[in-house]
Amino acid sequence: MSPSLFLLLSFGGVLSLKICSFNIQSFGESKVSKPVVLNIILEHIQASWLLYAMYQAKATEKSITRCDLMLVMEIKDAKGTAFPQLMTHLNNRYRGRRPEYGHVISQRLGRKSYKEQYAFIYRQKLVSLKSVYQYPDIQSEDTDAFAREPFVVWFSSPTTEIKDFVIIPIHTTPDAAVKEIDELYDVYQDVAQKWQSKNFIIMGDFNAACGYVPKKDWPNIRLRSTASFFWITGDDLDTSVKESTKCAYDRVVLHGEKIIQAIRPESVEVYNFKQAFGLTEQQVEDASSALFGEAVVEGLLSCGLTGCMRGTSLREHFAGARASPSFSGCGTTGGRMI
């Protein structure tokens, strides 16, 4: 398992939407029953929802701005009781102070006896569900491409400039990462024909680093080689919690000009909740295999490497920044469209 990424979407500049992913290592009854581990997970999520003003002096150095929609991966809850308990604990913390949060969760997915679930937690006052779609993974001449087929959700966000967007989540099997990442191209094509949305976010634990995806395989991965898909997380972005591991496992890929235009290019970075909460490496591993990363989306206001320029898009930023010998993007391939 790997890290958690934060994608902060500020559509239109009136209200911001922060979209996050959190890979909770083997989340089930065992974790819920351990108060220390449960508290770490809740604090991890709670930090995501704190309502701090962005760039407010030192507050943002220790805290994360609000997270309005969170993808949760690696839920192994055979009896179906652990995740509802997590939601109860989460909502109890905010009762009387915050709106209650809703959720949507997939069926148990996987081959044979090993099963996982995807789930989304969201603030009901800001985000609502338009539709859900469990990708069937049934294609001619191609059998069972995914170990955990994407649970695709179409969200509505009426208070923001971008009124709707689709999230395609993925938690790949490490040994099959190349094939599964490539097959996400087919998932996009299928969903784009099914729904009318033009704004797509493909995100999650790709296992897209450290031997699982060799450099020689990248040109053959359609999600990477097709120019319309925009990778905002690069190959050198470390998203693992282990100090001995430096791997860009988790990724965020965008499709759709409006959502690409909305990204603030300098904002993709890992948030190290181990340091923020003063945890030991073992405590972090007990709760999650992932760190947090951030990407800020704010209408057409983009802050580049040398300052902010209104009207500069993510695409324009990377095109201009590549002229600099020191440019490395959001990682070595951040923003690359091959």
From the list 53, 73, 75, 76, the residue with the least C-alpha distance to 63 is: 53
CATH number at residue 186: 3.60.10.10
Mean pLDDT of 237-250: 77
Q: If you count DSSP H runs as helices and E runs as strands, how many of each does the chain have, helices first?
A: 10, 17
Instruction: Assess if residue 49 is contained within a domain.
Output: yes
Instruction: Assess if residue 233 is contained within a domain.
Output: yes
Q: What is the pLDDT of residue 91?
A: 81
Handedness of CA 325, 331, 333, 335 (dihedral sign): negative
Q: What is the CA radius of gyration of the chain?
A: 19
Catalytic, 180? Answer: no
Instruction: Assess if residue 330 is contained within a domain.
Output: no
| 207 pLDDT higher than 80 | yes
Range of the domain at 22: 6-321
For the segment 81-104, what is each residue's pLDDT rounded down to a tens digit?
888 887 887 787 766 666 578 999
Instruction: Assess if residue 169 is contained within a domain.
Output: yes
Catalytic pick among 44, 171, 255, 317: 171
5-9, 105-109, 123-127, 157-161, range with the lowest pLDDT: 5-9
- Who wins on pLDDT, 270 or 1? 270
- pLDDT band of residue 267 (cuts 50, 70, 90) is low
For the segment 38-67, what is each residue's pLDDT rounded down to a tens digit?
555 555 554 443 322 222 222 222 222 357
Catalytic, 116? Answer: yes
- pLDDT band of residue 108 (cuts 50, 70, 90) is very high
Instruction: Assess if residue 56 is contained within a domain.
Output: yes
In the chain, the number of structural domains is 1
Catalytic pick among 44, 74, 116, 180: 116
- Who wins on pLDDT, 309 or 253? 253
Query: What backbone phi and psi angles, to 5 degrees, belong to 166?
Result: -110, 135
Q: What is the pTM of this model?
A: 0.76
Instruction: Assess if residue 177 is contained within a domain.
Output: yes
Mean pLDDT of the chain: 71
